[in-house]
Amino acid sequence: MDRRTLLKSSGWLLGGLTLGNLASGVARASQNTQTANSIASVLPIPTKQQPLLLNFNENSLGMSSKAQQAIVHALPQAFRYPDAAREQLIEKIAESHKLKAQNISLGNGSSESIQAVVQMAIYQAQKAGQKIQVIVPDPTFNYAELYAKALGVAVIKVPLNDKLAFDIDAMKKCADEFPGVSIIYLCNPNNPTATITPAEKIEPWIKAASERTLFLLDEAYAEFVTDSHFRSGIELIKQEFKNVVVTRTFSKIYALAGLRIGYAVAHPDIISQVEAFVSLDNTNTASAVAALASLEDKTFLTISRTSVETSRKIVTNALDKLGLEYLPSQANFIFHKVPGEVKVYQDRMKEYHVFVGREFPPAVGWNRLTLGTPEEMTTFVSVLNEFRAKGWV
């Protein structure tokens, strides 16, 4: 069940750290055990009315206070179209990546940007009388797949390898053997595994690929990455490559999921084609000014990263003690093994008013856990320990 169909309990806003008390802990972020102990006395208690939502990779820290203030300040002018704020945001995003405004296309979340890129490539191929396919790793975030299928385009799913990493060679083979255009969708870090694909695995393929191959790199979680083997596809765009599009979002690190704001980055020639497939006036005033304020709030960016890093350590320490396998996370969630059936584990967690992710076949036996605030994750760990005492994990 995806986030569009799950009935969420009303009244849940934020059960985590305030910006103030987390900011005071930024300087000592490495002292994760002490942090966990210091918040133990203020742990949120999940209830039916206010469950612990650890299933959709939302950032329960909440948006920057400056982003909130920007929205309030902009409300009196919300009867005007948001053209000025939209233009400012495009300029600011371009500046942050050392690119030009012509390299940026705003989307209603990165979801719309993904949809527009897929539709654009399919239209261009069909207009030229070429066959087209979409190649995706399996499992991964499935929006590119859904958009392609809705247009009757074949989707080739390439299973992850035995290390639950992308099988780049197999994906490349599918593209090379196809007599037409291939859209290669790569979510990096991948969702649901939270792992990265190193630049040395991706870049040589992109650089050597024929003009019949378009790479759609979904970097929704890139701002959380600390692994030096990761390099954004934006660097290739700076080198004038026209066969790569990168999508980013403000939903994750900036906690603006409910405002729906994201963007695509590509060569200006590609962006001009993508723009034909995005909705007119797709950016509202609130999301534009909140995104602008978020980009300018460097302190919040540090706080958001530190919150996730602290939460990750709380969870991995617990998983280590319980002997539960997990993958190295470079995002705001963890992919971990669950003894027995994942659905049973998920349902039992719901009985405790804790919502965790579903199973992602063909990765059977693994569960995706969103990293909430350190307080929330300490609560989750207490529930997990109770499950161990009952013999459930």
pLDDT in tens, 234-246: 999 999 999 999 9
| DSSP letter, residue 25 | T
Q: What is the mean pLDDT of residues 10-17?
A: 32
Q: For residue 295, what are its two tokens? A: 């980009």
Lowest mean pLDDT across 9-23, 75-89, 163-177, 322-336: 9-23
SS3 149: helix
pLDDT computed for residue 266 by the predictor: 98
β 131-138/154-159 pair status: parallel
pLDDT, tens only, 27-69: 443 343 344 344 344 678 999 999 999 999 999 999 999 999 9
C-alpha 227, offset from chain centre: 16
CATH fit for domain 19-63+303-389, picks 3.40.50.300, 3.90.1150.10, 3.30.420.130, 3.40.1280.10: 3.90.1150.10
The CA distance from 200 to 111, in Å, is: 27
Q: What is the mean pLDDT of residues 137-144?
A: 98
The CA distance from 78 to 97, in Å, is: 29
Q: What is the pTM of this model?
A: 0.90
pLDDT computed for residue 27 by the predictor: 40
Name the β-bridge partners of 360.
Answer: 363
At 14, the pLDDT band (50, 70, 90 cuts) reads: very low
Q: What is the mean pLDDT of residues 105-120?
A: 98
Q: What is the mean pLDDT of residues 75-99?
A: 97
C-alpha 269, offset from chain centre: 26
Q: Among candidates 333, 180, 131, which has minimal Cα distance to 252?
A: 333
pLDDT at 258 over 50: yes
SS3 20: helix
pLDDT computed for residue 4 by the predictor: 40
Report H helices in the chain. 19-23, 32-38, 65-74, 83-96, 109-127, 143-150, 168-176, 199-208, 234-238, 268-274, 285-296, 298-322, 342-351, 374-389
pLDDT at 159 over 60: yes
pLDDT computed for residue 44 by the predictor: 81
DSSP string, 42-87: G-----SSS-EEESS---TT---HHHHHHHHHHGGGTTS-SHHHHH
Q: Provide CB contacts within 8 A for 142, sequence distance 6+.
A: 136
Contact in structure between 252 and 148 (CB atoms under 8 Å): no
pLDDT computed for residue 257 by the predictor: 98
At 290, the pLDDT band (50, 70, 90 cuts) reads: very high
SS3 356: strand
pLDDT, tens only, 324-347: 999 999 999 999 999 999 999 999
Q: Among candidates 367, 364, 369, 368, which has minimal Cα distance to 380?
A: 369
Q: Where exactly does CATH 3.90.1150.10 map onto the chain?
A: 19-63+303-389
pLDDT at 94 over 90: yes
Q: Where exactly does CATH 3.40.640.10 map onto the chain?
A: 66-296
pLDDT at 196 over 90: yes
At 313, the pLDDT band (50, 70, 90 cuts) reads: very high
pLDDT at 8 over 50: no
pLDDT computed for residue 6 by the predictor: 32
Q: What percent of the chain has pLDDT over 70?
A: 89
pLDDT at 285 over 70: yes
Q: Before 44, cis peptide (omega within 30)?
A: no
Q: What is the mean pLDDT of residues 275-290?
A: 96
Architecture of domain 66-296: 3-Layer(aba) Sandwich (3.40)
The CA distance from 64 to 294, in Å, is: 6
Residue whose tokens read 């998983």? 319
| DSSP letter, residue 8 | P
The CA distance from 26 to 47, in Å, is: 30
| Average pLDDT along the chain | 91
Q: What percent of the chain has pLDDT over 90?
A: 88
Q: What is the mean pLDDT of residues 201-219?
A: 97
The CA distance from 227 to 229, in Å, is: 5
